């Protein structure tokens, strides 16, 4: 006896149905992959912006803590030296005769006393920290005046939204009464994550 084997192939209708189902499944998978990639990109962007905010907060709080430039040419009624203007807004690199640069105009410059103890007697100089924009990057430059080029110039944040950088103080920023608190606000923008507001605040050490 001979065993007969049925060697049926696929009919045209079966092939068309299979191809249609594969197309539906492929489109669904493509949509899932696209959504996943977008979410990954948005998460990565948000993490980058959060890291910039954290770095800026560390620098700014420390800079404001040391804020205060004494006027050693004057004695107050209580026998102490009063302060000079210690916060400069929209300031060029040589504002008030205190040079730190050349740099683009700074959104804010924070001034404080710096005693150079490498010589005897110690010499008082002026420490300057300037926050300025370079294209869409926020930079922090620090100098000891008199001087020329900054000792340090680091990028604090990237992708800063134009026109979003503002400074506010607990009292008048540019008064000889040094404000207790200073705040720097700006908005970061990345395509996948959108806008991210950053608020950097610092409190001055009182002495």
Q: Residues near 67 by Cβ (< 8 Å), separated by ≥ 6?
A: 86, 87, 110, 111, 112, 178, 179, 182, 202, 204
Summary mean pLDDT of the chain: 87
Instruction: Answer yes or no: is pLDDT of 134 > 90.
Output: yes
Contacts 24+ apart (CB under 8 A), 194-197: 195/161, 196/46, 196/49, 196/50, 196/53
- Residue 1 has what pLDDT? 47
What pLDDT is stored for residue 42 in this prediction? 76
**pLDDT the model gives residue 8:** 62
pLDDT at residue number 137: 97
Q: What are the tens digits of pLDDT across the range 111-131?
A: 999 988 888 888 889 999 999
For the cut 50, the answer to whether the pLDDT of residue 158 exceeds it is yes
Q: How far apart are CA 62 and CA 55, in angstroms?
A: 11
Sequence-distant (≥ 6) Cβ neighbours of residue 56 within 8 angstroms: 138, 156, 157, 184, 198, 200
pLDDT tens across 43-78, in order?
Answer: 888 899 999 999 999 999 999 999 999 988 887 667
pLDDT, tens digit, 9 for 90 and up, residues 4-16: 555 566 677 777 7
């Amino acid at each position: 006896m001979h065993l007969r084997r049925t060697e049926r192939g696929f009919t045209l209708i079966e092939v068309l149905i299979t191809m249609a189902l594969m197309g539906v499944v492929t489109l669904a998978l493509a949509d899932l992959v696209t959504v996943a990639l977008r979410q990954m990109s948005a998460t990565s962007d948000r993490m980058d912006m959060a890291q910039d905010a954290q770095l800026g907060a560390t620098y700014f709080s420390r800079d404001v803590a040391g804020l205060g430039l004494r006027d050693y040419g004057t004695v107050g009624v209580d026998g102490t030296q009063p302060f000079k203007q210690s916060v400069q807004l929209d300031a060029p690199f040589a504002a008030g005769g205190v040079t730190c640069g050349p740099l683009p105009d700074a959104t804010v410059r924070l001034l404080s006393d710096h005693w150079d103890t490498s010589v005897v007697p110690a010499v008082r100089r002026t420490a300057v920290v300037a926050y300025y924009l370079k294209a869409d990057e926020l930079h922090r430059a620090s100098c000891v005046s008199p001087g020329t080029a900054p000792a340090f110039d680091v990028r604090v944040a990237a992708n800063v939204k134009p026109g979003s950088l503002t400074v506010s103080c607990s009292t008048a920023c540019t008064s000889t009464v040094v404000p207790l608190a200073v705040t720097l606000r700006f908005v970061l923008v990345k395509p996948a994550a959108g806008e991210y507001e950053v608020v950097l605040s610092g409190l001055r050490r009182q002495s």
